[in-house]
Homo-oligomer: A and B are copies of this chain.
């Protein structure tokens, strides 16, 4: 397998669809905010709105976890926080290692949200000897030569790769070799991993390109509606795929 999102293909892990799993953290975040404001209960409508989804989807998602609500009342905030946390595995401690302590690695090491929810930066690793021993976010940078030892010693099961793309696969292989089965990859590289290893990727460049696509389309639509060469009243619909082969006007 080599994709960035290779859980068991099409397996709805323990019956929970992937799409639902991906939304549980959103619900949890919204619930945590409610909890901090000491709100005791919340309806699917309110919570869905806070999480930015529609309420039918939220209720369907929760139905995979069990029947944790009360008809006519809503959901108990604290209880749901606990149930979702448990479901996501956040009631235990997850030591994380960050490999590649450049600008991004340092930013992540300093990121507070890490520690808040069960995750703990156990070690920082870099290939540059000159960095070894330097303190980043209160932790010493260790050399990649000791990667396997560091992982085994700290019982790390999640690795974050923030190296240059050219080093990512090699680092990945060593992480996997050392027993790591979950990887968050910030390098712009498709990683190959054996079955049973989960990879998720965060790719700034891809996100920007997707935005650019839509941005371009908006501009094209705008042109078609207003300044467009066709008769006014051109439909607000999309043009054909060839930007330079007009679909709404005669050739």
By a beta-carbon cutoff of 8 Å, the part of chain A in contact with chain B is: 2-4, 7, 13-16, 21-22, 24-26, 28-30, 49-53, 64-66, 86-90, 92, 94, 96, 102-104, 106-108, 110-111, 113-114, 116-119, 157-158, 181-184, 188, 190, 196, 198, 200, 202-218, 220, 238-243
- Given A21-B210, A87-B241, answer yes or no on A204-B104 (Cβ-Cβ < 8 Å): no
User: Which one of B107, B108, B205 lies within 8 Å of A117 (CB-CB)?
Assistant: B205
Most chain B beta-carbon contacts within 10 A, residue among A203, A211, A212: A211
Chain A interface, >50% SS class: helix
A200–B202 Cα distance when bound, in Å, is 12
* New A-B contacts (18) at CB < 8 Å, excluding given A114-B204, A119-B212: A13-B238, A15-B240, A25-B206, A28-B209, A87-B213, A87-B241, A88-B212, A89-B213, A104-B107, A106-B107, A114-B205, A117-B209, A119-B208, A158-B211, A198-B211, A198-B214, A200-B207, A202-B207
